[in-house]
Amino acid sequence: MRRIVHLSVGILAGLLVASTAAQAAADISIFGFAPSTSLGTDGRPLAAAIPRETINYSGPYSPGSILVNTSERRLYFVLPDHQAIKYGVGVGRPGFTWAGVSHIANKREWPDWTPPAQMLRRRPDLPRHMAGGIDNPLGARAMYIAGTLYRIHGSNEPDTIGQAVSSGCIRMTNDDVTDLYGRVKVGSTVVVLR
């Protein structure tokens, strides 16, 4: 009789542990995000490690300008009435930081990516060309900075936002870059500070 009771308790405990483990596994997606995370139209989690916000702005740049503070890892889009939208960004890793003033030369939705020759020399394992799409490292949108090899673009690696890991481009979450893309015009001033 005791064996039956112990066996029954053991089976019950095993079922409880198995169902709890199964529920915990179901609560975490393959990307490691809890199921309550908002999902984009592609079914992937929207990352917002650094939420965008509207702030007061009293700087010298006119509305429509983009100011990137690489040491702060923030991008500011200047609005009218002394306001700006502040976004979290990923920036160039050590040795790939830069500063200057330019403008947006071009804009693309779901851009193709062709790594520049300099990058291919450093990383010969990279593809020579990649069609636009969710797996493309440029993400959902790209704004090309005139006179440089750099872009302000989305990312398929949202965990890199707030980090210094790029080859000089300014990375944003796909959600944030889509928001910025809708506000920026070709010809907008871009100021990058170290």
CB 53 within 8 A of CB 22: no
Helices and strands (H, E) in the chain, number of each type: 3, 11
Q: Which tens digits make up the pLDDT trace of 150-187?
A: 999 999 888 899 999 998 999 999 999 999 999 999 99
Q: Which tens digits make up the pLDDT trace of 4-37?
A: 444 444 443 443 333 333 333 333 222 233 333 4
Q: Confirm whether 103 is a catalytic residue.
A: no
CB 129 within 8 A of CB 112: yes
What pLDDT is stored for residue 58 in this prediction?
93
**Two tokens, residue 100:** 């200057």
d(CA 177, CA 141): 6
Catalytic residue chosen out of the listed positions 6, 82, 129, 153? 153
**Rg of the chain in Å (alpha carbons):** 23
Catalytic residue chosen out of the listed positions 6, 103, 129, 169? 169
Structure pTM? 0.73
Q: Which tens digits make up the pLDDT trace of 41-94?
A: 555 545 456 899 999 999 999 999 999 999 999 999 999 999 999 999 999 999
d(CA 155, CA 141): 9
Q: What are the structural domains of the chain? A: 53-193 (2.40.440.10)
